[in-house]
Amino acid sequence: MKKHLLALGALFLALLMGGCNTSSQAPSSEKYQVRVSVAFPQRNPSPTSISPQGVPVSAQSAEITAIRQDTGHVADTCSLSSNNPTCSLGLQPGNYSIEASVKNFSGTEVAWVSQSLSVTGDTSISLVPKTILANAFLSADGNTASAGAQVAVRLWVTYPDGPQPPYAPDDFPLDDFDVVYTVGTCSDGSCTSFTENTGVATIAASNKLGAMVQIGPGVPINTWIGLKAEITGLGEDHQPKTLTKYFAIRVADVSVGVSIDLSPPFLGQINIDGQQASYPAQVTMGTHTLSGWAFDNDKVAAIKVYINFSEVQATVTGLNTPNPTWSYNWTPSAPGRYYLHVVAYDAAGNSHFRYLPIDVH
């Protein structure tokens, strides 16, 4: 009798454990459709077109990866492009990290984002990538000013594989970085030694495009005023990144017996084969005529044309007059993205440049 009771007890325990095990079975193999979208910038002819949702104008494609948060394993991937900015993932119920790696024409990552998503059914998600911070620099029309003067210092921010100083475009999304400005003194023009000092200068106004430095009225001649900019954004390793840049201004006596031409020349629109170029320009393989014009209140002393940062020998007509023209017959060597820069100089050394990316198909 005792043996029978033990056997019944063992059977009951086995049934109980079996019932418990049914609650820890593997999740359902049913997959739901998750539609993923990234907003790419419109290829607008206007050079002032906006790059939406943290995607720079160079963005061409994006790789989407779904990673299960409980295992760290990749569950599914899909690809999208500026022409087809939506793709679909097949995911089982669970919690995921959805990553988007946005790349340019040559495959370099220029923006990235990771966003959590709980999948319980068919759904959609719109990702807002953040442009990767590669470099930054400060510039102004000159680096000398008199005591009491204001100097406008421009901040330029660049992304990976984009044009670098002094040809950086102005298309880095402003929401994707922050900047803090500080004024002080530098030991020399390189500003390798900077000391914060609001007694010699102040920041009259500032934003993410630059700062207006107000030099104090009694600052001695040959004092070096320094502007420090600390720029923070997303690094190439997808972690926070900080860049520190300096710009030095020498205090000089420019009020007596000095004549200064502070009016830079102006470059007109860039034409391709006689038509105003779109932004970015789109051309096919073959020979194309690039052309344009410049203007100065005195005379244009030089016009230089660069393709992929290498100078080419353009034909300039009417040099040393107020309104010369330029042209260059260009044959791209292969399909891809090219960068065109045109720089005009006047006799006083002032300059103005235009930038145009050209996609060759």
Helix (H) or strand (E) holding 12: helix 2-21
* Residue 213, pLDDT above cutoff 90: yes
Confidence of residue 294 (pLDDT cuts 50, 70, 90): very high
Q: What is the DSSP letter of 175?
A: G
Residue with tokens 């000089």: 252
- Whole-model pTM: value is 0.64
Q: Give 300 or 242, the one with higher predicted confidence.
A: 242
CB atoms within 10 A of CB 127: 24
Q: What is the pLDDT of residue 260?
A: 46
Cα 239 → chain centroid: 16
Is the pLDDT confidence value at 77 over 50? yes
Please give the average per-residue pLDDT across 281-293, as a whole number: 95
pLDDT digits (tens, 9 = 90+) for 138-184: 988 788 999 999 888 888 888 888 766 555 555 677 788 999 999 99
Question: Are the C-beta atoms of residues 146 and 184 closer than 8 Å to each other?
Answer: no
Q: What is the pLDDT of residue 318?
A: 94
Query: 3-state SS of the chain: helix, strand, coil percent to 5?
Result: 10, 50, 40
All domains of the chain in start order, with CATH: 32-131 (2.60.40.1120), 135-251 (2.60.40.1080), 266-360 (2.60.40.770)
- What the block records as the tokens of 102 is 């946005």
Which distant-in-sequence residues (6+ apart) come within 8 Å of 80 by Cβ? 36, 37, 38, 61, 62, 64, 86, 87
d(CA 69, CA 40): 27
Q: What is the mean pLDDT of the chain?
A: 83
Per-residue pLDDT tens for 224-275? 999 999 999 999 999 999 999 999 999 987 544 444 444 678 888 899 999 9
pLDDT value for 55 = 64
Q: How far apart are CA 142 and CA 248, in angstroms?
A: 10
Q: What is the mean pLDDT of residues 344-353?
A: 76
* Mean pLDDT, residues 299-311: 87
pLDDT at 24: 36
Amino acid (one-letter) located at 144: T
User: What's the mean pLDDT in 301-316?
Assistant: 89
The winner for highest mean pLDDT among 15-19, 34-38, 57-61, 305-309 is 34-38
